[in-house]
Amino acid sequence: MTSTPTRLEAGDWEPLVEILRNELQEYGGLFNLLGQQQDRIIERKPDAVLSINDEIELQTRTVADLRGRREAFVDDLLARVGQPVPGSLRKLIEHLPDFVQPLVEALMTDINHMVRRNRHKARQNHLLLSRAVQLTEETLRVLQPENFTRTYGRTGRATLPTRAAAVSRYNALG
């Protein structure tokens, strides 16, 4: 004999749906900021990149806070229906009314999709920034090769001389 799962009431699951909607919205906001960051990188506007980085950091904290609220709320609901805590939203779904389950599943799917899109965009931005730094270093190597003479320390790691060493060399030449 299988037992029917305990069903949650509207007052229990409605705040969960609201939290999920807010979380999805904030992930969308993060995606937009990452897109703006990418535009600034491509436009070669370093001050704008630094500015948007602060906004991205704030938005990332907002998303993390919402995720934490959701996880705590899910754990609270799981405890109410006698399920082990900590748990997952997926385990909670069977305790929601049948007409709410597709909504929560759709919100979960959309959130997971936005997480993947945000990670992809962040990786793209990281690659763009890495390439920009690499190109800048290559340009500086051509323009100021004396500042990029590699030496090796005791640990075997390559090091670059300090700016003071290059300046003092020119002073010695008179």
Same domain flag for 124 and 165: no
Range of the domain at 171: 147-174
Tell me how far apart the alpha carbons of residues 118 and 24 are, in angstroms, rounded to a whole number: 12
User: Per-residue pLDDT tens for 111-121?
Assistant: 999 999 999 99
Task: Reduce the DSSP state of residue 2 to 3 states and report it.
Answer: coil
Alpha-carbon span 155 to 12, nearest angstrom? 60
Per-10-residue mean pLDDT of the chain, 174 residues long, equals 69 93 97 96 89 95 96 94 90 92 97 97 93 80 74 70 46 42
Looking at the fold, whether 116 and 162 belong to one and the same domain comes out as no
pTM of whole model > 0.85? no
Spatial neighbors of 164 by CB under 8 A, at least 6 apart, are none
Q: Are residues 162 and 93 part of one domain?
A: no
pLDDT of residue 18: 96
What pLDDT is stored for residue 167 in this prediction? 46
Query: What does residue 149 show for φ and ψ, rounded to 5 degrees?
Result: -70, 125
User: Does 151 share its domain with 139?
Assistant: no
Number of domains observed in the structure of the chain: 2
- pLDDT tens string 115-145: 999 999 999 999 998 888 787 778 777 887 7
CA distance 4 to 55: 47
CA separation for the pair 98, 129 (Å, rounded): 47
Assess whether 50 and 74 both reside in one domain: yes
Q: Are residues 75 and 57 in the same domain?
A: yes
